[in-house]
Structure 1
Amino acid sequence: MENLNTSNEFKPSLGLMDATMLVAGSMIGSGIFIVSADIVRNVGSSGWLMLVWLITGFMTIAAAVTYGELSAMFPKAGGQYVYLKEAYNPLVGFLYGWSFFAVIQTGTIAAVGVAFSKFTAYLFPQVSEDIVLFSIGSLHISPAQILSIVTIILLTYINTKGVKNGKIIQTFFTIIKLVSLFGLIICGLFSMKSGVWHANWENAFDMHKLLPSGGVENYVTFAALGAIASSMVGSIFSSVAWENVTFIGGEIKNPKRNLGLSLFLGTLLVTIVYIAANVMYVSVLPLNEIATAPKDRVAVSATQAILGNWGTYVIAIMIMISTFGCNNGLILAGARVYYTMAKDGLFFKKTGHLNKYSVPEFGLWIQCAVASLLCLSGKYGDLLDMVSFVVVIFYILTILGVFILRKKRPDVERPYKAFGYPILPIIYILMALAFCILLIIFKTNYVKWGLIIVAIGIPIYYLALRKEKQ
């Protein structure tokens, strides 16, 4: 007990710049370097590739500025968990927190950690995912998995020593990756191949599926909507985690102002980067090369086209920086949700204590343990696909919560009110619902397993309540 912070309170030590870098840094991982390949395979044209990213960017910014109202009303640790609990009831909040712990946050940490290892293998082939170090039954352990776990443990340890250390890493790595990305984009645009660019923009909005053979398959109208939804699984997943900044509301200076502002600035910045990166891709690579990039690594192919063979090493270093900084933000923010749940008697009691550095150390380590297990399982990618639907459902519920709280608690101080209310939040909800409905139709397994993960939380919630009353 001697290591516990006697005040048991978070210390506000993050400014607007730090919060904005956490938003941007948590969003930009490996997705922007990879997922455009799958999008192009689904939609088959430059115009629709851009529209998918534009729609995703609009939805992300719309959601973020709406969350700003909630973050100003409840400027404390826990973020989305607190908003859902206040708008609905403790069960809804818990189901979010449970899904967050079981796979949303921990699975993302695992996926980003393994992405770091995969690209490290470009520089050091000894840590390749294709090497088997040892096997446990049908489970094969590679050096990439071990390295990913080591980086997760390292970042967890650093964050147990106080938010200041995590803040320095986050701000530094986010600035480096943004500068690197903008540098790559500018180099790519200066290296634009006019023939490739014009070919890519012929029939720019003629949607069709690109086949591995190089042929095309035309969609009937309804199937085209399914292709858009399938494409957006990747772009939306590349654009989540902006809400991580709300989890550390208790550690942000002037949170009633800075939380909402950081959400807007961070999501706007990342949306600009993502769209610019895709413009760069179609300026140097034919569409079929984007669709068939080895292991979907579009950025690697683009950098090789711009810089030659040594471009592979440049992009590998960029992605290592990007994923390392991204994981730091995810690890830093995640444990604050478990801390708030523990304070409500809905999580391990020890998670509700802060150490002498004013951070929830136990929450950080159990998050580390689950993420490490997901790294070893090799199933983290499947789990993330399963919960894409659930993540968006919780976004919808949270934004609906703005309407509910305005009616249920009209007298609560609202230092910031949702921009464009009620039109912008309604547009987001309708677009997100359309996405979810199309996933139900075209990606049933994504929905089924995602909902099963959430449903498992219901009996756990009631067991936790019973234990708390004893």
Structure 2
Amino acid sequence: MQTKDEAVTEFVPRLGLLDATMIVAGSMIGSGIFIVSAEITRNVGGAGWMIAMWALAGIVTVIAAVSYGELAAMFPRAGGQYVYLREAYNPLVGFLYGWSFFTVIQTGTIAAVGVAFAKFTAYLIPAFSEANYLLDLGFFRLSAAQLVAIFVIVLLTYINSRGVKDGAALQTFLTLVKIVSLFGLIICGFIWGVNGEIWNANWQNAWHLSNFTVSSNQLTSTPISGLAALGAIAISMKGTLFSSDSWNSITSIASEVKRPQRNIGLSLVLGTLVVTVIYMLANLMYLAVVPLKDIAFAPSDRVGVVAADYIFGSSGTIIIAIMVMISTFGCNNGLILSGARVYYIMAQDGLFFRKAGILNKNDVPSFSLWIQCIWASVLCLTGEYNNLLALVIFGVLIFYILTILGIYRLRHTRPDMPRPYKAPGYPFLPAVYIAVALALAVLLLIFETAYTLPGLGIILSGVPVYYLLIRQSGRAE
């Protein structure tokens, strides 16, 4: 019998295809589908452009997922993207990803989803509102919503420290609940909420790219073109891509998946396809039920709540708030479960806290889980949902581009390495993703400078940290 945490040194495969697929889908579906359509509509105007932003995000996400399957089959072990970058390039590039993953990408996403959970909890319990400040020191204010977000992160960290089966079982249950609930909302919207006049009005001037503003309860549409149009598209794509992100979370726990060469790639494809279909149907339902003005200027951007109000009346808003709470709770569970495995592998390489590379008696990296919990909780105190989203997505795009490029590099540098699964459409489809993601990253760097430059700074700050760790460990580079 194991009596010491240090005695456990290897992950145990316990997760099947259903668990893996639910981790993919559950990590993707959070609060975004209920919120970000408001900002998108304000930025691009017409219904056609709004749907196009979701469709483009879905297409590039599925392309990335099917391409990742090749890397997952080549390196079917814990660490996911960190391992792919390390193997395709060098340990420094892998570390810069792991450093960014810990400092902002994963922990920032966990914090953003936690803040979103608190936002919808406050809809049911006003005392948990962001406006209810429990501490105000002038330079720092602590709200009840921030405490709710932190509490959820701590609770889910504790559950996952009890073992991967507990975390995965909770993830499978919550993901099935939210998929069924979302389909239920979509079906109810199309059956009881459809209004022909609203649908026709929403699709007038559907492809006129414009910014929306409201004055004296009147909707004003200002046409945009040129660089401003590209900026509006980039800002809109920021939201749709964030709502579709974390699809690769299963790759971080590959060592705990049965038959990983088969099940990792298959779960990536199934999970991303299911979520893309749900997102497209949900937004078409919004357009069939809610006037464009009410989508663009939904209170606190809660488009899902407004749609439920149109479909069910006042009781519907309670239903949707509960749905979002379940959705964000399950999303954060998947993020917390998968994220800690990256720090575990980094620690094994001597590039993170040594204790992070030790499994507890439940075969999980508990120290990694708790250090992730602490930093994500700190981030909950520093930003709102949209701010955290903007800070995260730039770094995410940079490393996705490098990872997909890694497929080409590994084909050249390690052509004889076994590839049980190869990226379909290679070399064309991966190149499509790289082109779209690179264009979006450049546009965000231009139009969201207040967030992308700090994000870039965080990535580059990992360079001296890497060499400091190398010196301390006495390893050759």
TM-score interval, normalised by the smaller of the two chains: over 0.9
- Please list, as runs of the form range in 1=range in 2, the aligned pairs for 1:44-443 lying within 5 A after superposition: 44-190=45-191, 191-213=193-215, 214-378=219-383, 381-443=386-448
Q: Distance in 1 between matches of 2:387 and 2:377?
A: 15
Note if 1:37 corresponds to 2:35. no
Q: 1:460 aligns with which of 451, 457, 465?
A: 465
Q: Distance in 2 between matches of 1:96 and 1:408?
A: 21
> How far apart are 1:142 and its partner, in Å?
1.6
Q: Distance in 2 between matches of 1:84 and 1:8?
A: 24
Secondary structure, aligned partner of 1:212: strand
Q: Distance in 1 between matches of 2:14 and 2:203?
A: 48
Q: Distance in 1 between matches of 2:73 and 2:182?
A: 32
1:211 is aligned with what amino acid?
Answer: T
Structure 1: 5+ residue stretches without partners = none
Secondary structure, aligned partner of 1:215: strand
Q: Distance in 1 between matches of 2:273 and 2:124?
A: 33
> How far apart are 1:437 and its partner, in Å?
2.0
> How far apart are 1:116 and its partner, in Å?
1.2
Deviations 1:219-258 (A, max 9, x none): 1233212211111010011111011110000000000000
Q: 1:447 aligns with which of 443, 447, 452?
A: 452
Decide whether the 8 Å contact of 1:42 with 1:227 is kept in 2. Answer: yes
Q: Distance in 2 between matches of 1:38 and 1:380?
A: 12
Secondary structure, aligned partner of 1:248: helix
* CA 30–379 in structure 1, closer or farther in 2 if over 3 Å, else same: closer
Percent identity among equivalent residues? Answer: 60
Secondary structure, aligned partner of 2:194: coil
Decide whether the 8 Å contact of 1:133 with 1:141 is kept in 2. Answer: yes
Deviations 1:43-91 (A, max 9, x none): 1011111111110000000000000000000000000000000000101
Deviations 1:336-391 (A, max 9, x none): 00000000000000000000110000000000000111112235642431231221
> How far apart are 1:97 and its partner, in Å?
0.4
Q: Distance in 2 between matches of 1:117 and 1:4?
A: 34
Number of equivalent positions: 470
Q: Distance in 1 between matches of 2:431 and 2:317?
A: 43
Secondary structure, aligned partner of 1:141: strand
Decide whether the 8 Å contact of 2:110 with 2:332 is kept in 1. Answer: yes
* CA 267–199 in structure 1, closer or farther in 2 if over 3 Å, else same: same
* Aligned twin of 2:14: 13
Deviations 1:206-225 (A, max 9, x none): 11111132211111233212
Secondary structure, aligned partner of 1:243: helix
Decide whether the 8 Å contact of 2:8 with 2:360 is kept in 1. Answer: no
* TM-score for the superposition, normalised by structure 2: 0.96
Q: Distance in 2 between matches of 1:451 and 1:35?
A: 24
Secondary structure, aligned partner of 1:211: strand
Q: Distance in 2 between matches of 1:267 and 1:380?
A: 23
Please give the root-mean-square deviation of Cα atoms over the aligned residues, in Å.
1.3
Q: Distance in 1 between matches of 2:6 and 2:161?
A: 13
Q: Distance in 1 between matches of 2:308 and 2:380?
A: 28
Secondary structure, aligned partner of 1:133: strand
Deviates more, 1:112-121 or 1:86-95: 112-121
Deviations 1:262-288 (A, max 9, x none): 000000000001111100100011111
